[in-house]
Amino acid sequence: MSGTAGDPRGQQAFGDRLWEATAERGALCVGIDPHPALLEQWGLADDADGLARFSDICVEAFGGIAAVVKPQVAFYEAHGSAGMRVLETTMAALRASGALVLADAKRGDIGSTMAAYARAWLDDRSPLAADAVTVSPYLGLGSLGPALELALGSGRGAFVLAATSNPEGASVQRATTPTGRTVAQGMVDEVAALNAGAAPMGSIGVVVGATLSEVPDLSAINGPVLLPGVGAQGGTAADVARILGPRARLALPAVSRDILRSGPSVGAVRDAALRMIEQFGFLTGDQ
């Protein structure tokens, strides 16, 4: 596989690595969402120690089987510096196990502040460096330039929020621009331009809610499509197939609660993840 153009390390592009990982392990992104109610359900304290135990169970359950694991950064930030240390350790352990790590941070800002966010999540020198990070473009996709440039220059990736399933998002994302496109479609089209010509796919993805009945045109995206909302929120394999159609190989369904509620047994959590991976085997031709 080719490395990312301009990458001083010659590392494979994230799009290449993700394509290979999903071919080997199945097209699924498993979330780590240690919110207080789930910690309580697992018999763990809502503190840094409970967070660490929860995360260790998830690493043991997912690290060897999932193509992508997505820690929700907010639940670690809520515990301050101790929580962020747990996140650093968790991300390092996941990557050592062979999983790709998607930091669900949803960062978005301008100028030097955006550049600092990019360094935090995408720079080799940062202990928080992930394989990819979620970013919010609603200060304009151009404001994400520092993150997108660093991602493409370091063999990493980014997932740009485009069409989310929360009801409040529609008033912004479905608004029509002077070009006649919706705002969400404009985001998708700009990301598609960044991925043009990449093979087997580009390294900049978009986020599209799996429960949406109306979605942007994804025919030119040529990059991964993260589809949260599968499972407990009502999204199904049929929804994923409907949204991506003939481009199903680009789909990356994201599942958290439907798997995590099986805990705290490592075996039970792993089995739940394996069942979900099997459910989406059609995305990589495994069914």
| Active-site residue set | 106
CA quadruple 2, 218, 70, 116: dihedral positive or negative?
positive
Which H helix or E strand runs over 251? strand 251-255
Q: 3-class DSSP state for residue 22?
A: helix
Q: 3-class DSSP state for residue 72?
A: strand
Radius of gyration of the chain (CA): 18
Q: Which two tokens stand for residue 116?
A: 């600092």
- Between the two ends of the chain, the Cα-to-Cα distance in Å is 26
Residues 131, 255, 226, 111, Cα dihedral to 10° = -60
